[in-house]
Structures are given as structure tokens and as C-alpha cells.
Amino acid sequence: MASRPVTIVLCILVLAACAKSDIRVAKLHLPKTESECVMSGGNWQQDFFRNFYCFMHTTDGGKRCTSSEQCQWACLGPQDACLGPQNAVKSSKLVGACSENDADFGNVVYVENGNARCVNVE
């Protein structure tokens, strides 16, 4: 009879571990050469600074997220999340969306652990 409470506790712990939403996703591999890029389904492009890079689409773009660990590239939040004097949302409940591609330019709102991190990427 003493094993029944232990079994119940173990079941609760297993269910709690399964319910955790912070599942890490395999990150997008960024090819370094034009041939690797094209073979991977990307587009070889030149940026404003005349540097070449591989523009890749993700397969999880638009998926809800609270951290970039849950996305192939990054978890992005709404632009208005960075309004205010300190450019940060002091909330652990911000939900973003996984990025559609690997292009982070301009004012970018990264979501990490439910908080906004506002960055100007050039």
C-alpha cells in the first residue's frame, strides 16, 4: 500500500515534465558557400554592405513561441513590445512567433523567456 503514493507522485512528475513547453528545436544551418546554399534550398544574396550570405526559409515560421530555443531561427515579438524609456517589456508572458527566415534586419524584437529584447540589426 505504501507504493501507491509513490506511484502517484511519479506520475505527477512525469506529466509535469511532459507539459513543459520549452522544447528545444534543431537550429537552422546556415551554408557558408553559394553551392551549399543552393543545395540547401536557400538563395545566395548580397547585403547592403556587399557581403554575401545565404537567405534561408524556416519550416516553423509563424509557430507561437516564448523563446528562440523553440524555433529554428528566432522567436520574434511585436514591434510595440519595445515602446517605453527602457525598451524592454517587464513581463514573462510575452508570446511571439518563430521567424519565417534567417533575415534579421532593422528594429528586431527577440522574445526570450517571455521577455522582449529590442535590437537594431544592421
Residue 61's pLDDT is what? 95
Helical segments of the chain, H only: 3-19, 34-39
Residue 30's pLDDT is what? 82
Q: Angle at the Cα of 59 (from 53 to 64), degrees rounded to 5?
A: 115
What gap in Å lies between CA 48 and CA 106, rounded to an integer? 12
Q: Check: CB of residue 119 under 8 Å from CB of residue 87.
A: no
**Which parts of the chain register pLDDT below 50?**
4-21, 87-89
Residue 15's pLDDT is what? 35
Kindly list the domain boundaries of the chain, sorted by start residue: 22-28+59-121
